[in-house]
Amino acid sequence: MVRLERFERADIPQLLEWINSEKLLRQWGGPGFTYPLDKQQLDGYVMKTEKKSTDTLAYKVIREADGKVIGHISLARINNSHHSARIGRVLVGDPEVRGQGTGEQMMREILRIAFDEMAMHRVSLGVFDFNSPAIACYEKVGFIKEGLLRDTLFVEGEYWSAWEMSMLENEWRDRYSKVMHPAAESGIKE
């Protein structure tokens, strides 16, 4: 299992270690960062997420079994008027935990924060069409493909296309209310 805690300046060196290529940086950070990623860029990112008026919350992903930081995820474009947010900067950074369901755990936890704690109605994300493991993970937790954005980014001499995906509050509740509240499934009144 994993838990999310706010991403802080002390977490920057680990993230820099994980993001070691332009291609990975583009997948993780989009056009908001330039390669090579450096401490100054991430200081600005952390500073933005610390403001009270921010529309972005950044998290480090911690493996509960041993407290090790194993990834990063953010919730951005938070719009309380429209009850919407966007998941981004998803990274299972520790290669040892890839392919073990960590991404799915991260997604469920960020969705719990968005829908249960922040009362969002819609959560979206974008994923490059060649990232089959991520797409499978997002579909497994309940995201639905809305459309393909063709040739949205030009990286290392090629164009990348991205799937736009989303989940609505009722889809979250239908899928996870019994999982999140086992007493409801057993008929036990709380």
Over residues 164-184, the mean pLDDT reads: 82
Q: Is residue 188 one of the residues assigned to a domain?
A: no
Give the closest residue to 6 by CA, choosing from 69, 66, 64. 69
Q: pLDDT confidence of 71, banded at 50, 70, 90?
A: very high
Residues 6+ apart with CB under 8 A from 19: 25, 28, 29, 37, 91
pLDDT of 181 higher than 80: no
Give phi and psi for 24, each to the nearest 5.
-65, -40
| Residue 180 binned pLDDT confidence (cut-offs 50, 70, 90) | low
CATH number at residue 86: 3.40.630.30
Q: Could you tell me the residue range of the domain that residue 47 belongs to?
A: 2-182
Split into its structural domains, the chain has a count of: 1
Q: What is the pLDDT of residue 116?
A: 97
Q: What is the pLDDT of residues 92-146, one digit of tens each?
A: 999 999 999 999 999 999 999 999 999 999 999 999 999 999 999 999 999 999 9
